[in-house]
Amino acid sequence: MINSILFVMLTATILLTSLTVTSVDFAEALKSKGTGISQYGSSTNICGLQLCSEIPGGKAAWMEQQKMPTPVAPVTEEPVMEETMMEKITEADLGSVLRLSRANVPAIIPLHQGFYNGDSVYFIVTDSSDQKHADIVTEQQGWKVELAPLLANAPEAALSPVYIFKNGVEGNGVHGFQGEVFSSTPAQEDYSALTSHIHVMWNEDATPEVLDSADAILAAQANDMVTFTEPEVVMNMPQIVWPEGQMFVKEDKTLTDDTPYGGGQVLDIDLDEMTVTFIAHRGWGPDGRTIYYIVTDATPSGPASMMGVTPAPTSANLIASSAAVDLFQFKNGIKGSGPLGFQPGIAASAPGDANYTPMWRIFMIGWNTPENASLLETLSDINALKADGLINVNIARPMDSDHIVNCPFIDPFQ
């Protein structure tokens, strides 16, 4: 544990740094899948995003709770959560607390309107595997879309097709025509925020009209009214509002550096202004640079529910894919604003890096002697301390399942 003098020195240093991801022996960690040694999701220690011991009734009660169906009706109330570790910190613990400035800040992101089965869908666009498409959407929405080349490696099972019009009826679609048409929403089990694209072109002898469902588009193709092309591009297009529901909206809109991580990631959805406001969490890139990220969806359902985000079972198909990169979080040590109430995490890549992607394969770091924990800020820190036997690093398997989180890295101040 750090003493109060060291805490003051660390705080001054940290004002220029923050959270994210890394790659420490992924192949080795995969060997431990299902062995119960993963400290984040082991069968004995962790329930979702909390220690089992912190939940009334323990692991058995938590597992029973996971059997409950996930509601899909519109939700505006903050999901009920147990008292978090950050809320349990007492004044006597202050010497071991890492307090980052601006650890949680609001990020206002433009919404787009599309369609699913005749009804409206509202979504955001955060990342693209292709620079051309990233530039097109960035200019169209006035908010930066990050280049994430590795998304092109995502397996088909982790993607959801979306129809994008290149001509026809003018509208607010990303190419200036009618809105995009989705093949699924979070109400379906095959939903994915990662989209493969089908470009739709009206043929010269056809009369364009708005097509608001995949069935209508396929019927138009069958009647030789439209032609399809499939560019090799994958984009991250998380849905915020869909016909059967929407993302959780936190009831308490006040953000502080100590705001608990769980219980919802959205502060506001404004369909008049066409914006959504997320909580942007501060952390560290691989070299110690400051990053901010939002959380839109995750698998399995337990961690997704705890964070208050959309469950996305298809993301499990990314567990061994290069389309997902490693993100290291902490299960003990210095208390802070990370998901489990300890120091912020470290990412294996950040925007601008060739290996950046918004899809994160989660590893948990545990101090072998938590009272001697120190601040880690880089991948090099992780590798060095692991080699010295001071920390253990294990792939997270909550609910004994593959764990992937969609955490686009963004600039909340743009």
Instruction: Look at residues 22, 30, 27, 39 and name the one whose alpha carbon lies nearest to residue 382.
Output: 22
* pLDDT attached to residue 98: 82
CA 207-174-183 angle, 5° bins: 75
DSSP string, 138-192: HHHHTSPPEE-GGGGG--GGG-EEEEEESSSSB-SSTTSBSPPEES--TTSTT--
d(CA 216, CA 327): 41
* pLDDT attached to residue 195: 98
* pLDDT attached to residue 4: 39
d(CA 6, CA 16): 17
Bridge partners (DSSP) of residue 275 are: 110, 270
Global pTM value: 0.79
The tens digit of pLDDT for each residue in 60-88 reads 565 555 443 333 433 334 443 333 333 44
The tens digit of pLDDT for each residue in 273-298 reads 999 999 999 999 999 999 999 999 99
* pLDDT attached to residue 33: 39
User: Is the preceding peptide bond at 300 cis, omega within 30 degrees of 0?
Assistant: yes
Q: Which residue numbers in the chain have pLDDT < 50?
A: 1-45, 49, 66-95
Tell me the residue type at 168.
Answer: G
Bridge partners (DSSP) of residue 393 are: 365
d(CA 144, CA 127): 9
Two tokens, residue 20: 């994210």
Q: For residue 362, how far is the Cα from the chain centroid?
A: 11
* pLDDT attached to residue 316: 97
- Alpha helix positions (H), 223-324: 301-307
* pLDDT attached to residue 364: 98
Q: Where are the domains of the chain?
A: 4-72+79-105+278-410, 109-241
- Give the count of beta carbons closer than 10 Å to the beta carbon of residue 122: 18
d(CA 222, CA 393): 53
